[in-house]
Amino acid sequence: MSKFLNWTLAAAIAALATPAVAGKFGLGRAALPEEIAAWDLDVSPDGTGLPVGSGDVFTGDEVFAENCAVCHGDFAEGRDNWPKLAGGKGTLADKDPLKTVGSYWPHLSTTFDYINRSMPFGNAQSLSADDVYAITAYILYSNDLVDDEFVLSNENFMDVVLPNADGFIIDDRETAEYAIWRTEPCMSDCKDDVKITMRATVLDVTPDEEGTDGAEAAAAEEAQVAAAEPAAPAFDAELAAAGEKVFKKCKSCHQVGDGAKNKTGPQLNAIFGRTIGGVEGFRYSKVFQAQADAGAVWTEEEMAAFLAGPKKHFKGTKMSFNGLKKDDDIAEVIEYLKSFQ
């Protein structure tokens, strides 16, 4: 009997080893450790999986402009229907919250992991680890979470805490709720008919309709401003030429020159002497609407203060640009804008 049992056991083991039972079909080979490592790109919230490397905000600005700005805007403000990565602070309780890295995402590792794994669009995994660190640092800077000299690396990565780090909770529904509602569905006493009581709404999609009276009033206001404009100030062509290069930071949102149209931001032709928030057809934020209501006008001094820190000068602006740090850059941009007066 003992020999029979031993033979039976051996036969059972052999049967389990056959392809039909074990799921092995005799094809391919086991993946090598280095091959597995090449696909294992996961970066966890605790920092597990972070590669060695570093990147600063300035480098990130350049890499972002080359690889990301075409979809996400030069300042991570988003473009067309592509996602906004910056802004949205304090909007999570709004009817239409802006969910960005700075306002909504709880872990910086999610940003790094997604860029490292999937970006840039159409050319995924073409960035070096240093490039990904630099882009992540630039996104932090665009959300006013670090200064322009910040360097992000695998050594200080976990020191960065995003504003909404405590805004998420562990999903415990499997243990806390499933037993309550995972029962046989009730299929009796159903309603005779079902009526739609609410509909989803999407904001900032359909433009507001303006009547003829509003257009005429705006035209009259522009005419009054034009009549009150002082003589054109002295113009420095050389300074304006330098400003054209600096203005590249603004071109993703603003147009100037022949055929300039409103984009993410209003067109900037004839900006000086114009009512702040007064471009017809552009949908301004509340702070600019207030400036227009007050009759405020763009002057060189006002523009210089605004360019130095838009969010500080007009608190509540939706503009995600952090400002120009150098006085020379500000003076050059102003001179460039004057060439379109």
> In this predicted model, what pLDDT tens digit does every residue of 158-168 receive, in sequence order?
999 999 999 99
CA-to-CA distance for 207 and 202, rounded, in angstroms? 12
Residues 154, 43: one domain? yes
pLDDT for 143 beyond 70? yes
The pLDDT assigned to 14 comes to: 52
Q: Are 154 and 218 found together in one domain?
A: no
Question: Does residue 207 lie in a domain region?
Answer: no
Same domain, 150 and 247: no
The whole-number average pLDDT for the span 137-143 is 96
Residue 122: inside a domain = yes
> Structural domain of residue 289, as residue ranges?
212-222+229-338
Phi, psi of 304 (to 5 degrees): -60, -45
* Residue 186 CA from chain centroid, whole number: 44
Confidence of residue 219 (pLDDT cuts 50, 70, 90): low
Per-residue pLDDT band for 242 (boundaries 50, 70, 90) equals: confident
The answer on 218 and 144 residing in a single domain is no
Q: Report the pLDDT averaged over residues 108-118.
A: 96
Q: Which residues pair with 56 in a beta bridge?
A: 151
pLDDT at 224: 58
Is 154 inside a domain boundary? yes
Q: Compute the average pLDDT of residues 94-98.
A: 93
Rounded to whole angstroms, how far apart are CA atoms 291 and 300? Answer: 16
Give the confidence band of 203 by pLDDT, cuts at 50, 70, 90.
Answer: very low
For residues 76-91, b (16+ Cβ closer than 10 Å) or e, as one string?
A: bbbbeeeebbbbbbee
Does residue 252 fall inside a structural domain?
A: yes
Q: Give the ranges where 229-339 is alpha helix by DSSP (H).
A: 237-246, 286-293, 300-308, 310-313, 327-338
Q: Are residues 145 and 261 in the same domain?
A: no
Residue 281: CA count within 13 A, CB half-sphere? 7
Q: Is residue 171 part of a domain?
A: no
**Boundary (domain end) residue, out of 114, 138, 159:** 159
Which tops the pLDDT comparison, 235 or 70?
Answer: 70
The segment with the largest mean pLDDT, out of 84-98, 261-275, 278-292, is 84-98
pLDDT attached to residue 190: 84
Work out the average pLDDT over 194-204: 64
Q: Which residue among 159, 177, 204 closes a domain?
A: 159
Residues 6+ apart with CB under 8 A from 169: none
What average pLDDT does the segment 311-315 reach?
A: 84
Give the per-residue pLDDT at 334.
Answer: 85
Q: Which residue do the tokens 């998420």 mark?
A: 168
**Same domain assignment for residues 38 and 144:** yes
Residue 248 belongs to domain with CATH number? 1.10.760.10
pLDDT at 1: 44
Query: Of the candidates 159, 181, 198, which is a domain's last residue?
Result: 159
Q: 281 — alpha (psi -120 to 50), left (phi > 0) or beta?
A: left
| Judgement on whether residues 245 and 142 belong to the same structural domain of the protein | no
* Same domain assignment for residues 150 and 234: no
Total tally of structural domains belonging to the chain: 2
Q: Is 40 inside any structural domain? A: yes
State residue 181's pLDDT score: 77
Dihedral class, residue 21 (left if φ above 0, else alpha if ψ from -120 to 50, else beta):
alpha
Torsion angles phi and psi, residue 229, rounded to 5: -65, 135
Measured at the CA of 312, the angle between CA 66 and CA 133, to 5 degrees, comes to 30
pLDDT in tens, 10-67: 455 455 554 444 567 888 888 999 998 888 889 999 999 999 999 999 999 999 999 9
Is the Cβ–Cβ distance between 287 and 314 less than 8 Å? Answer: yes
